[in-house]
Amino acid sequence: MPRPTMVDYVHETPSVIRSQIENNVAQPLVDAFAEGSFSRVRIVACGSSRNASLIARPYLRRALGREVIITEPYTFCTYEHELPADEFCFVVSQSGYSTNALAALDIIRAAGRTAIGVTGDPASDFREASDLLVAYGVGEELVGYVTKGVTSFATFLMLFGAGVAASEGRLDPASLRADIETMLGQFEAVADQVPGMLAARYKELSTMERIFLIGAATNLGVASEGALKFAECLQIPACAYELEEYLHGPNLQLSPDYTIFLFAVGERSWKRSAEILAATKLVTDRTFVITDCPDMDADIRLAPGGDELVGPMAALPVVQMLAWQLTEDKHLWHKHPLVARFDAALSGKSENYVDKEVL
């Protein structure tokens, strides 16, 4: 049986998410939250888990009615681990072997608090490091570039927020389930559009050298994951910026050879996105638009409607499928030979981790 690819995992994602809902995977975290009185939530995460947290944060803030903070594990361990009594804190690692996440769990435990670990692999090192271990239901990914784990962890966080809101009598969790089902329909439609987008603009996409990805709220989380995917797979600079933050300096380096991905899913960002796109096109024609706005020219078009804090997740296949196909076409899976020395000198995973990247 051939080894699964990132594209295979894109197509698996809807069934994974439906399984998460059916199995109520967020309930253990909802129950832990209910044991205290918390006014804010801190998610300790890096990499794709951090990006998934960025995707979920707008919905999570609204559902919880509380502030949600996302902190990288090193920063948490070194600078930001005061752990006030009213802060609900948990640590995420899809693999369960990330050394910085394991260190964060140790910090929490040493402070006398419950070390809550959320992972995709309950048999990983997180099992011993966590006082409460929560599996978010992604299953196994046999490639080193997180794919279904991003969408499924973002969904897990939204289910957690909806679960807390339901327990406090502020939300019917069926509303989120309906919004997720709408998003999954869009997700599948987007995945179907990506090969056509790639074929139509192959010369531009296969010669990208510097990339900006821009969007606001949930769209920014998608852009951030896109920046990571393009950088780690295609090995080129890719930066994500909030919609207007892009205007405050990054735009000054634009030239006709820059590539811009604009994510504008959700009516609140349509007008400003259209203005920014028009200005950007005065400098570069290498612009790619992913939107549900009927009045904008789009490379990937979503149907308007649905919750705009949930719906932008449907755009993730754009960056995931492009990253995989272009890396495959250009034979870029192997890194520069010196990267193997870097990995041997300093790894972010524990000794029990089986490396999945090709160096």
pLDDT digits (tens, 9 = 90+) for 91-116: 999 999 999 999 999 999 999 999 99
The per-residue pLDDT for 359 is: 66
Q: How far apart are CA 211 and CA 216, in angstroms?
A: 17
Res 305: pLDDT: 87
Phi, psi of 194 (to 5 degrees): -60, -45
pTM of the model: 0.97
Shared fold status for 6-171 and 192-329: yes
Listed in order, strand segments (DSSP E) in 186-344 are 210-215, 238-242, 258-264, 287-291, 300-301
Assigned fold of 192-329: Rossmann fold (3.40.50)
As a whole number of angstroms, the distance between CA 64 and CA 216 comes to 20
- pLDDT tens-place string over residues 61-90: 999 999 999 999 999 999 999 999 999 999
Which residue ranges of the chain lie beneath pLDDT 50?
Answer: none
Backbone conformation region of residue 83, classed left if phi is above 0, alpha if psi is from -120 to 50, else beta:
left
The pLDDT value recorded for residue 2 is 78
Rg (CA), the chain: 20
Residues 6+ apart with CB under 8 A from 73: 44, 45, 46, 91, 98, 100, 101, 103, 104
**What are the residue ranges spanned by the domains of the chain?**
6-171, 192-329
Helices (H) and strands (E) counted in the chain, each on its own, are 13, 10
| Residue 358: per-residue pLDDT | 67
| CA–CA gap between residue 295 and residue 278 (Å, rounded) | 13
Taking domain 6-171, whether its CATH number is 3.40.190.10 is answered by no
Supply the pLDDT for residue 270: 97
pLDDT digits (tens, 9 = 90+) for 169-199: 999 989 999 999 999 999 999 999 999 999 9
Q: Report the C-alpha gap between 232 and 237 in whole angstroms.
A: 9
